[in-house]
Chain A
Amino acid sequence: MPVSGATAVAARPRSTNGALTRVLIVDDHPMVRDIIRLACSDRSELEVIGEAGTGPEALDKCRTLSPDVLVLDLGLPGISGLDVIRQLRREESALRILVVSGRGDRSAIFESARVGADGYLEKTGSVQDIAAAVEAVASGTQVFSVDHQRIAHEVLGELARKSREAAFMVSSLTRRERQILQLIAQGLTSRQMASTLGVSQRTVETHVANLYDKLDVRTRVQAVHRGIELGLIVMGEWWRAEQNA
């Protein structure tokens, strides 16, 4: 799959010239592992050096066998495929990772690209596709189909929009509304809030209504959740509320 850009395909040197590409296959279904192994056996440059059925086993074998390419399922027992990639990416190895997943949803595709997978294939693809993708990934090419790449970028765009809207929402809150949110987080009733702030209960209720409106929530729990998400609630207070509960 074409990779855009000048900096994208600076292929790190793989195994020494002529040597085989060492492949580790990770999937919790033995049958899927067999199929991938079969696909690789058709290619003279690929050598399957091991298999794993769980996340921890995958990490373990990556460290002991140091494969060139890891063919990885996302849904694994123990540690998820995404977390396996996250951990491996912290280790600064030249390992290439090809995700072969039963999932075709936006989140799986985006998160795989985000944590640093070199390619993404759905299990609906053909066996030949898998072998070709392993070879492509081994040579330093990214294997995301045009559709998968579009989806990953789309989700990134949504993330940017949400983050922009959240910042706008935060800036739209008044000092009083922030205060009220803090008090809600502490578990105060409107009556208690009114006496704390020295205003009428009715005024408090108006503030709460405006606050809910701006945060786009309908309950106290949702408001607190949103507030923490947006970094609006000082956790010290929240923590105390938790302790007193």
Chain B
Amino acid sequence: MTVATEAPATAPPRPDPQRLGVILVEPQAVVRAGIALLASAQPDMEVLVEASHAQEALQSLKSLSRKAGMVVVIDLALDGEKDSLWLIRSLREQFPSLPLLACGSYRDDAQVSKALFVGADGFVDTRVPPEEFIDAIRRTARGEVILSGVPRNWLGRIADRLESPAPRRSVLTARELEVLTVAVEGLTARQIGARLGVRERTVTTHLSRIYKKLGARSRIGAVVAATTAGLLSIQSGT
């Protein structure tokens, strides 16, 4: 986009430290304009930055002289390599106490829980009434955690996602896991081999490696260890 004239007929007003400074990061121009208009209409708010992508937002934030009395509103729909989660993570690292409110419209809680995980202070669905959206911005600035406009069961689902243990790197290879899964059924090495289309000897090699890795001395030991470690889920009835 080119700048037609250099004449700043309407120079932006100087930021007013009394007012809450809103940094708006929203890829959709119309939505961005709408939120900006809404925020500017509040006597206690002013829009300091409007950005359409992550790096632009980060750069603008770094150049701001103001250090407090600000809140960042980030739509989770920024995509590409520097997506919304990247931006939230970067902001959280560089501005640890800056209030960050994620927004967007989602049918699934996964994206929202990721946003909270990387450092957002809350989430507001963009489908809420405007006054509720503005209220979410104000409360985020005050340090509250917002979860607004989402289905009632999301609190529990997000909490469960956040609490699930860090994904364990499986110590077993995919093939070993396959062998062990079949071994649970109590088949002989020969039968396992037939099932997986490999030689009996290959199966026994796999099994002894599995035992070694899991620190087990028997098939049952390996199964217990793998199950305890969450590597193996045994179907009931087998």
Contact = CB atoms under 8 A, between A and B. Distances in A.
Contacts of B46: none
Interface residues of B, number: 45
Given A7-B149, A240-B225, A156 B159 contact: yes
Contact of A234 (B116, B165, B229): B229
Contacts of B216: 236, 239-240
A158 to B, nearest CB: 8
Q: Which interface residue of B117, B162, B228 has the most chain A CB atoms within 10 A?
A: B162
A164 B117 contact: yes
A232 B171 CA distance: 11
Interface stretch (B47-55, B120-128, B187-195): B120-128
A50 interface: no
B117 A4 contact: no
Interface in B83-117: 113, 116-117
B136 to A, nearest CB: 9
A53 interface: no
B226 A236 contact: yes
B145 A154 contact: yes
B159 A236 contact: no
Contacts of B213: 236
Interface string B170-205: 010000000000000000000000000000000000
A156 B116 contact: yes
Interface in B117-145: 117-122, 125, 127-128, 132, 144-145
A153 B166 contact: no
A214 to B, nearest CB: 14
Contact of B128 (A4, A115, A152, A157): A4
Given A4-B148, A142-B152, A237-B215, A163 B162 contact: yes
Contacts of B36: none
B43 interface: no
Interface string B147-161: 111111101101100
A157 B148 CA distance: 13
A5 B156 contact: no
A160 interface: yes
B166 A167 contact: yes
B91 to A, nearest CB: 13
Nearest to A186: B215
A8 B162 contact: no
B150 A236 contact: no
A157 B121 contact: yes
Given A8-B151, A229-B165, A240-B216, A156 B158 contact: yes
B167 interface: yes
Given A157-B121, A160-B116, A164-B119, A236 B153 contact: no
A235 B228 contact: yes
A65 interface: no
Contacts of A243: 221
B228 A230 contact: no
Interface in A204-245: 229-232, 234-237, 239-240, 243
A48 interface: no
B152 A8 contact: yes
Given A159-B159, A159-B163, A8 B226 contact: no
Contacts of A191: none
Contacts of A6: 125, 127-128, 149
Contacts of A3: 152
Nearest to A244: B215
B214 interface: yes
Contact of B171 (A5, A150, A166, A236): A236
Contacts of A237: 214-215
B61 interface: no
A139 to B, nearest CB: 14
A113 interface: yes
A197 to B, nearest CB: 17
30 contacts: A4-B148, A5-B132, A5-B150, A5-B151, A6-B125, A7-B149, A8-B150, A8-B152, A114-B155, A116-B156, A118-B152, A154-B144, A156-B116, A156-B147, A156-B158, A157-B122, A159-B159, A159-B163, A163-B163, A230-B166, A231-B165, A231-B167, A234-B171, A236-B213, A236-B215, A236-B228, A237-B214, A239-B215, A239-B221, A243-B221
